[in-house]
Amino acid sequence: DSIKVIVDYIVKDTIVDCDTYSSWSNCSYCAYASPVQSMDASANKSTGKGGSMARFAILKNHLYAVTTSELKVFGLQQPLEPQLIDSKRIGNWNIETIFPFLNKLFIGSTSGMFMYDVSDPANPQPAGQFEHVRRCDPVIADEKNAYVTLRSGTTCTGFTNQLDVLNIEGPIATLVKSYPLTNPYGLTKQDDVLVVCDGTDGIKVYDAADASNLKLLQHIKGMVTYDAIANGDLLLVVATDGLYQYNISDPLHFKLLSKIGIKD
């Protein structure tokens, strides 16, 4: 059929020159394997890029995972035998998501967003928070702002469906602006392009150059979306009917590259 499945592979150590590696890194259609990928220029290493609905993340050779009330820190110095280093209680109950960026962890809960500084990766320290009424809250961030979706639902209670943009430059996050949505779930950001999975309303793509004035660039309908991960010119979207892959080099016109369908 149209779906190809890997049934075998050969492991090789391959060395390439810097120019070749650079051209591969900037190629949206090139496929290659790498043991680590940098999430930022300061050499914070990660084995991948997680979505905004994730409950664990890898940063600086440490694994951070959240339960409903705790942040757990594992050392990955011996990857085959991760060591639990610490457990920290976070607020009250209902911790839901975790997102790493630079030297911070952004943790979403039904009662607010918590920020932890991981300059010392083995000992995360509280770095601020933003409280609000109970909702389900995926969160992502960049150098200046955090983006949090709030939605109504049977397990989250409440009736608000919106995107909150928060300024995180100070110790206390402050609300920049709220944008109404239909029933948002996960979200992702690549440079100034913000992608929001708005549940039954599909994908909404915004120009986020000015966080106080997001501009809708395109609206992709026809699917029920859950989460998204942007990486360079590629976007992966998790929907109820499958996994979609887009080329997003043109923010005004995403190009569908492939879909792995899921049947009920």
Angle in degrees, CA 239, 243, 246, rounded to 5: 105
**Quick one: DSSP state of residue 19?**
H
Asked if the model's pLDDT at residue 253 lies above 50, the reply is: yes
Most confident of 18-22, 30-34, 121-125, 159-163: 121-125
In the beta sheet, which residues pair with residue 259? 244
Q: How far is the CA of 264 from the CAs of 178, 242, 261, in angstroms?
A: 35, 10, 10
To 10 degrees, the CA torsion angle through 21, 22, 28, 34?
Answer: 40
Name the percent of the chain lying above pLDDT 90: 42
Which pLDDT score, from 0 to 100, does residue 43 have?
A: 37
Per-residue pLDDT at 177 exceeds 90: yes
Site of tokens 């998790």:
238
pLDDT given for residue 5 in this prediction: 79
Q: What is the pLDDT of residue 18?
A: 76
pLDDT tens digit sequence for 92-139: 667 878 888 888 888 887 777 788 999 999 999 988 777 764 455 678
Determine which of 27-36, 191-200, 223-232 has the lowest per-residue pLDDT on average: 27-36
242 has a pLDDT exceeding 90: yes
Measured distance CA(54)–CA(5) in Å, rounded: 25
Coil, helix or strand at residue 18: helix
Q: Which range, of 29-43, 198-212, 241-255, averages the lowest pLDDT?
A: 29-43
Q: Are strands 83-89 and 70-75 parallel, antiparallel or unpaired?
A: antiparallel
Per DSSP, the three-state class of 21 is helix
Say whether pLDDT at 85 is over 80: yes
Q: Which of helix, strand or coil describes residue 69? A: coil
User: Which among 52, 51, 94 is positioned nearest to 70, based on CA atoms?
Assistant: 94
Q: What is the DSSP letter of 23?
A: H
Between CA 229 and CA 137 the distance in angstroms is: 16
pLDDT given for residue 28 in this prediction: 47
| pLDDT, the chain, mean | 82
83 or 13, which is more confident? 83
pLDDT at 92: 62
pLDDT band at 207 (very low <50, low <70, confident <90, very high): very high
- 3-state class of 48 per DSSP? coil
Highest mean pLDDT among 54-68, 110-124, 203-217: 203-217
* CB contact at 8 A, 211 and 145: yes
Per-residue pLDDT, averaged over 141-148, amounts to 88
Supply the pLDDT for residue 239: 94
CB 154 within 8 A of CB 181: no
> What does the pLDDT average to over 180-199?
93
Q: Supply the Cα-derived Rg of the chain in whole angstroms.
A: 19
Distance between CA 226 and CA 115 in Å, rounded?
Answer: 23
